[in-house]
Amino acid sequence: MHLKNLAKLRKEKGLTQEGLARKANISYHTLVKLESNGIENPKIETVIKLADALGISVDTLLGR
């Protein structure tokens, strides 16, 4: 499960990587790795936190 559009969605919301990491309550380094596809299978809890922080559905975040 790749979050290919994570960076695009983050930028559309006007958030920095650090800002989204704080808002989603995940580490900055995790977010950087997710955006660069360094983490191929993120935990579902992380995906949910990111979707909630961005105000979008998990399906949207996954590009479905």
| pLDDT tens readout for residues 13-49 | 999 999 999 999 999 999 999 999 889 899 999 999 9
pTM of the model: 0.92
pLDDT number for residue 63? 86
3-state helix vs strand vs coil in the chain, percent to 5: 60, 0, 40
Supply the range of the domain harboring residue 35: 6-61
pLDDT number for residue 15? 98
Question: Which pLDDT band, with edges at 50, 70 and 90, does 3 fall under?
Answer: confident
- 30: CATH: 1.10.260.40
In a domain, 42, yes or no: yes
Q: Say if CB 47 and CB 3 are below 8 A apart.
A: yes
Considering its fold, how many domains does the chain have in total?
A: 1
In a domain, 1, yes or no: no
Residues in the chain: 64
> Helices 28-35 and 17-24: crossing angle, nearest 10°?
120
Nearest to 15 by CA among 45, 56, 43, 58: 56
